[in-house]
Amino acid sequence: MSPDSAVENAPAEKPLRSDAARNRERILAAAAEVFAARGLEATLDDIAAHAGLGIGTVYRRFPNRDALVEALFEERLAGVATMAALVLDEPDSWVALRRLLETMGAVVTADQGLFEVLICRPGGGGRAAVRETMLPIVTAVFGRAQADGHLRADVAPTDFPMMLRMLAGIGEATREVRPDLWQRYLELLLDGLRADRCGESCFTVAPIDPLDMDRVQHLGWPRR
Amino acid sequence: MSPDSAVENAPAEKPLRSDAARNRERILAAAAEVFAARGLEATLDDIAAHAGLGIGTVYRRFPNRDALVEALFEERLAGVATMAALVLDEPDSWVALRRLLETMGAVVTADQGLFEVLICRPGGGGRAAVRETMLPIVTAVFGRAQADGHLRADVAPTDFPMMLRMLAGIGEATREVRPDLWQRYLELLLDGLRADRCGESCFTVAPIDPLDMDRVQHLGWPRR
DNA sequence: ACGGAAGCGGAGGTTACCCCTCCACTTAGA
DNA sequence: TCTAAGTGGAGGGGTAACCTCCGCTTCCGT
């Protein structure tokens, strides 16, 4: 039907010229660094300068800011989901829980941009997918640790993103000075989460329910 | 010496006209609300609109933005320090610790502006004074709870502002939807802080030292 | 080695904010 | 009633971010 021989209805992305391909990678690398350090509000001019390129070059490759964010985080989000899924293989349910929090804590404290796409922004496109991947993992890991009596019974899956928020706040503030500090507070949280303590206690305040979680994201983004 | 009879070298603040005094209070009330909800980055136009007054009126009363912030937070900061000092009278050292975190947690989660003045901004003027008031209180409360064997021994005074940061993050995100939610995570932190548990554990990551705390504040303010 | 398509840089247009001033009008209160 | 004090809000001045445009440069097939 088409006059073209082989490539039928593919979008026909002809390969970039070699210098353009190299610059594309530079832009993505610079964007990764800048978004990690300053969050998604970093400017494209900043990113271009960081890449050692002109702004025009950035816009030639990515039609607008969101396209860049999308291209940058698509693969990283998939990677995060994959990493999180790894903990399901951990035989010890408490270790699985700790590894889940360590893994995701490391992600959100090291990379502010990734934290924002993952936790803060209303889900759309790849974001929704990752969160839908995460929920069953969190539920499974929490459930197993609770069944084994390691994790206190009154913890809910929605506590997970909230704890990540707490750690991300530490990370954002102290990343430049003490990039490991967040782990101290992860340890603190983990000690609070353990069920096998002498002094039993239970929360007097209910967890946030998933619908309100959505409202939190929609109210808080874009940054008012 | 002066031609004036009674009022010598007093600043001679002549009383405001009644409507002006009323509007001054309105401005302060509006500023309190807006700064609480949106932080110190809120605009003066916003505050004026919120007060139902023109911007000119705001500037007539407060020569610039900082003067308004100063006037607004001077008394509140003093109040915070006073409230914090109250917990020193609590006989039970663990209850004192909890009350300290509850009190300050309530402050920083309900009022984002106050949190920023208190924890985020580099200290200057009244801020430094409050922080100098807080440090001995925190040290005393922590020390007593540790001596009594309630608080784990490896907690440091600098953990206090970090925990407030964590709670403030929860507060900022969920204030509009679940203004009480932060207390759930305070309970979690408190459970992590207790020393009298079966499974002893201690931090593998050192606390941040006070000098680095200062660096954190100076690096993070003004908001890049 | 050459020609043209693809790519590049970055000045600057456009838009959006925000701080603060200014001044014609209004109001309190002696 | 008269005037000093107060008021509103348009708009000046400045900054910042997004994105476009176009003259110049670089790649690469022939």
Percent of chain A at pLDDT > 90 equals: 82
Q: What is the mean pLDDT of residues A7-15?
A: 56
Instruction: Flag whether pLDDT at B2 surpasses 50.
Output: no
DSSP labels, A73-138: HHHHHHHHHHHHHHGGG-SSHHHHHHHHHHHHHHHHHH-HHHHIIIIISPP-THHHHHHHHHHHHH
Residues A73-101 have pLDDT tens digits of 988 999 999 999 999 999 999 999 999 99
Q: What confidence tens digit (pLDDT) does each residue in B65-109 have?
A: 999 999 999 889 999 999 999 999 999 999 999 999 999 999 999
Say which range, A27-36, B158-167, B182-191, B213-222, has the weakest mean pLDDT: B213-222
Does the pLDDT at position B3 exceed 60?
no
Query: Shortest CA–C1' contact from B60: which nucleotide?
Result: D6
pLDDT at residue A31 tops 60: yes
Contacts 24+ apart (CB under 8 A), B50-58: B51/B23, B51/B26, B51/B27, B52/B26, B53/B23, B53/B26, B53/B27, B57/B23, B57/B27, B58/B27
What pLDDT score was predicted for residue B8? 38
Closest CA of chain A from B19, distance in Å? 33
pLDDT > 80? residue A143:
yes
| CB-CB under 8 Å, A192 with B188 | yes
Per-window interface: A 33-62 vs B, CB < 8 A? 38
Q: Residue A128 — very low, low, confident or very high, per pLDDT cuts 50/70/90?
A: confident
Region B54-60: mean pLDDT is 98
Q: Is it the case that residue A111 has pLDDT exceeding 70?
A: yes
Under an 8 A CB cutoff, do A204 and B183 touch? Answer: yes
pLDDT at A223 (0 to 100): 79
Helices B65-86, B44-51: inter-axial angle, 10-degree rounding: 80
Cross-chain Cβ contact B191/A189 below 8 Å: no
Å from the B74 CA to the D5 C1': 27
| A60/C15 CA-to-C1' distance in Å | 21
Cis peptide, bond prior to residue A161, ω within 30 of zero: no
Average pLDDT, chain A: 92
- Per-residue pLDDT averaged across A123-146, rounded? 92
Average pLDDT rounded to a whole number, residues B204-222: 94
Q: Which residues of A touch B208 (CB under 8 A)?
A: 174, 177-178, 181
Query: Using a CB-CB distance cutoff of 8 angstroms, which residues of chain B are in contact with residue A175?
Result: none
Q: CB of residue A223 closer than 7 A to nucleic acid strand D?
A: no
* Chain B interface includes A218 (CB < 8 A): no
pLDDT band at B127 (very low <50, low <70, confident <90, very high): confident
Residue closest to A127 by CA, chosen among A147, A113, A141, A137: A113
Which candidate from B168, B173, B192 shows the least CB-CB separation from A216? Answer: B173
* pLDDT at A10 (0 to 100): 40
Q: Given a cut of 80, is residue A46 above it in pLDDT?
A: yes
Q: Which of B147, B160, B143, B167 has its CA nearest to residue B100? A: B160
- Cα dihedral angle (B190, B194, B198, B203), rounded to 10 degrees? 90
Task: Please give, rounded to a whole number of angstroms, the shortest distance from the CA of B10 to a CA of chain A.
Answer: 44
Q: Residue B128's CB: how many other CB atoms inside 10 A?
A: 11
Q: How far apart are CA B186 and CA A187, in angstroms?
A: 15
Interface subset of B 61-100, CB within 8 angstroms of A: none
Interface contact B181-A205, CB threshold 8 A: yes
pLDDT-wise least confident of A43-52, A156-165, A193-202: A193-202
Other C-beta atoms closer than 10 Å to the C-beta of B131 total: 17
Give the model's pLDDT for residue A6: 37
pLDDT of residue A199: 60
For testing contact with chain A, the best of B101, B155, B205, B223 (most A CBs within 10 A):
B205
Nearest residue to D20, CA vs C1'? Answer: A56
Please determine, for residue A4, whether its predicted confidence score (pLDDT) is greater than 50: no
At B5, the amino acid letter reads S
Q: Between A186 and A10, where is the model more confident?
A: A186
Q: What are B84-90's contacts with CB under 8 Å, separation 24+?
A: B84/B133, B84/B134, B84/B137, B85/B133, B85/B137, B87/B137, B87/B141, B88/B137, B88/B140, B88/B141
Using an 8 Å CB-CB cutoff, list chain B residues near A224.
38
Average pLDDT for A60-71: 94
Residue B18: pLDDT over 90 = yes
Is A190 or B9 the better-scoring residue by pLDDT? A190
Q: Which pLDDT score is estimated for A12?
A: 57
What local confidence, expressed as pLDDT, does residue A14 receive? 78
Phi–psi pair at A87, nearest 5 degrees: -65, -15
Q: How far apart are CA A49 and CA A43, in angstroms?
A: 10
Mean pLDDT computed over B6-12: 43
Position B199 scores a pLDDT of: 60
Higher pLDDT, A9 or B18: B18
Q: Are A27 and A61 in contact (CB under 8 A)?
A: yes
Is the predicted pLDDT of residue B9 greater than 50, yes or no? no
